[in-house]
Amino acid sequence: MLGEERETGNGKRMTVQAGITSALVKQALDGNTRAYELIRDTLGQKPVDTVNVNTPDVAVMKEGGKMEQEMFRVEDKRCHVWTAPEPRVLIIQPTGPHEEDSLPRQVEAIRAACSVSFLLAAFPVSDWNRELSPWDAPPVFGKEPFGHDAGETLTWVLERLLPALTARYTLPEDFPAILGGYSLAGLFALWSATRTGRFSGIMAASPSVWFPGWMEEVKAHPIQAGNVYLSLGDREEKSRSPQFARVGDCIREQAALLQAEGIRSTLVWNAGNHFQSPDLRTAAGFAWCIRETTARD
């Protein structure tokens, strides 16, 4: 069946397999993360997961240089943690399954860009569109709509994850914390800062500020963090999706709002589209927030 030829809309003939491939490539270029992952995995470029879990609850996996890596459970979520001796700042990062394999490289990139010791806790998000979206919205890519469970996720971070981390690593309750992530996780970080002043810094790399209703929301509920990092790929606003193509105008407006509110902030433009080196873009953002947060200790 895949080898069967069919006529396309422009009168040309194409095999079913070639048509599927073409459609996937188009969706990936327009920002569909799952289409990108399918192409990557089919080409054999999926990173290999080498984590060995020795116990159901805690497993020390790596100790390299001054950073120790471990995994522990907070309720039903298995969190990855990297910590240096006497950390000065805590990083909280929601991550999807597509990001877990690149976390070690991200951590090393943060260390290379910033000499300040830190503790990074990455917690898993199983339903990306539902758990990180502040309200319901129709599908933009494919058929999967956006949910409204960001409030539950933020509550879990504030009432479960942060207390567990402060107890486990003997941190003060008001220990400086940075919340951040990539894409929809970046929007979640920005939205969270409109609901709580707990986070010293917010890191939003290629955030989904095109999300329907976001600009109206952030104008009505200003961000409460002390510093905010924004970044975007310079080709992201060239998307074929009209909704996603708004991202350039929206992030410029977001940056202007932060400046007008007197919040220490920066907007960095990266070369490329949404899928280009997300781990390194994320690392650069966290390094900036760490420097800004600890410079005023």
pLDDT in the model for residue 23: 57
Q: Is the domain of 94 the same as that of 18? A: no
Q: How many CB atoms lie within 10 A of CB 150?
A: 22
For strand 119-124 and strand 77-83, is the pairing parallel, antiparallel, or unpaired? antiparallel
Q: Is the domain of 15 the same as that of 132? A: no
Q: Is the domain of 93 the same as that of 224? A: yes
Domain span at 130: 58-294
Q: Is the domain of 31 the same as that of 87? A: no
120-135 as b/e: b if 16+ CB within 10 A: bbbbbbeebbbbbbbb
User: pLDDT category, 18, cuts 50, 70, 90?
Assistant: low
Q: Is the domain of 134 the same as that of 12? A: no
Q: Contact 201/293 with Cβ under 8 angstroms?
A: yes
Residue 124 lies in a domain: yes
How do residues 36-92 score in pLDDT, each as one tens digit? 454 544 444 444 333 322 223 333 333 334 789 999 999 999 999 999 999 999 999
* Distance, CA of 243 to CA of 26 (rounded, Å): 15
Q: Is the domain of 12 the same as that of 84? A: no
DSSP code of residue 146: B
* Distance, CA of 229 to CA of 224 (rounded, Å): 13
Residue 179 lies in a domain: yes
pLDDT in the model for residue 66: 72
pTM value?
0.80
Q: Is the domain of 154 the same as that of 71? A: yes
Residue 52 lies in a domain: no
Between the alpha carbon of residue 18 and those of residues 35, 38, 45, 217, 243, the distances in Å are 15, 15, 20, 42, 27
* 3-class SS string, 6-74: EECCCCCEEEHHHHHHHHHHHHHHCCCHHHHHHHHHHCCCCCCCCCCCCCCCEEEEEEECCEEEEEEEE
Q: Is the domain of 24 the same as that of 159? A: no
pLDDT in the model for residue 9: 54
pLDDT in the model for residue 70: 95
Helix axes 103-113, 278-294, angle to 10 degrees: 40
CA angle 60-64-69, nearest 5°? 30
Residue 51 lies in a domain: no
pLDDT in the model for residue 56: 31
Q: Is the domain of 22 the same as that of 168? A: no
What residues does 80 pair with on adjacent strands? 71, 122
Residue 9 lies in a domain: yes
Q: Is the domain of 169 the same as that of 27? A: no
Residue 185 lies in a domain: yes
How do residues 271-282 score in pLDDT, each as one tens digit? 999 999 999 999
Q: Is the domain of 70 the same as that of 176? A: yes
> If you average pLDDT over residues 248-272, what whole number do you get?
98
Q: Is the pLDDT of residue 29 over 60?
A: no
Q: Is the pLDDT of residue 259 over 70?
A: yes
How do residues 158-217 score in pLDDT, each as one tens digit? 999 999 999 999 999 999 999 999 999 999 999 999 999 999 999 999 999 999 999 999
Q: Is the domain of 74 the same as that of 186? A: yes
* Distance, CA of 105 to CA of 26 (rounded, Å): 28
CATH for 134: 3.40.50.1820
Q: How far apart are the first and last CA of the chain?
A: 64
210-223 as b/e: b if 16+ CB within 10 A: bbeebbeebeeeeb
How do residues 111-145 score in pLDDT, each as one tens digit? 999 999 999 999 999 999 999 999 999 998 788 99
pLDDT in the model for residue 59: 36
How do residues 205-237 score in pLDDT, each as one tens digit? 999 999 999 999 999 999 999 999 999 999 999
User: pLDDT category, 268, cuts 50, 70, 90?
Assistant: very high
Residue 48 lies in a domain: no
Residue 191 lies in a domain: yes
- Count of structural domains within the chain: 2
